[in-house]
Amino acid sequence: MTYSYGFSTVGTQKLKWYPRLGIFKNSTGSCKYNPNTHEGWSYEPWQVCGMIDGIAVFNNFRYSVTTSCHQGVLRGMFKPAGRRVITTEFSDGLQGKSLADVVFTLREELEEREQLAIKGREKSFQGQWRRQRINCIKADILYIVRRHKIEIPEWLKPAAGYTYTDDLTDIILEDL
């Protein structure tokens, strides 16, 4: 059984099912996906997708051209049953990350995107895309915080002095 997803400069990437191992992997073994644990790897040490405390997280950081192709393949396969997939960017992969790390990274991306949205034209196509991504990030943070009732750590709290989950929820809901 072979599944083809995505495109690359070399050709279509394929992941083949290996029943003894219980995983899908490409011909060179550099891209692997385990459907039981929902973990996807590009070059063994770099985790592209996985479950963190019951939340599906996909790492969208483009490490190299090959890893970008692997992400395309894994994006097509990584669909945990009826779960929302949170997309974030970790330059060092998902291995060893916690939900607090995910929220922190999403918060950094949110601030970065909001700064770009302020500088750009709001009615342009890119301005509308930025606004849509900002709303998605806010919804993702709200989903994580509400689902796991996370108390926001000190290092994550905004400089304005907001303290707990309810305050972050209020901030996010104001802008939605």
CA 106/CA 145 separation, integer angstroms: 12
Summary mean pLDDT of the chain: 78
Q: Say what the pTM is.
A: 0.74
| 32 SS3 class | strand
Please report the pLDDT score of residue 9 as a whole number.
35
Q: Mind listing the pLDDT tens digit for each residue in 60-90?
A: 988 888 888 888 888 888 877 778 899 998 8
Crossing angle (nearest 10°) for helices 99-119 and 125-148: 160
- At position 98, the amino acid (one-letter code) is S
Higher-confidence position of 32 and 172: 32
| 107 SS3 class | helix
Helix (H), strand (E), coil (C) string for 71-88? HHHHHHHCCCCCCCEEEE
Please report the pLDDT score of residue 34 as a whole number.
92
Of 78, 69, 92, 70, residue with least CA distance to 25: 70
Instruction: Give me the mean pLDDT over the 1-24 stretch.
Output: 65
Please report the pLDDT score of residue 117 as a whole number.
76
Q: Mind listing the pLDDT tens digit for each residue in 114-167?
A: 887 777 676 777 778 888 888 888 888 888 887 887 665 555 555 554 444 455
> In this structure, how many other beta carbons lie within 10 angstroms of the beta carbon of residue 39?
19
CA 127/CA 134 separation, integer angstroms: 11
What residue spans define the domains of the chain? 2-88, 99-175
All residues at 6 or more sequence positions from 136 whose CB lies less than 8 Å from its CB, including other chains: none
| 137 SS3 class | helix
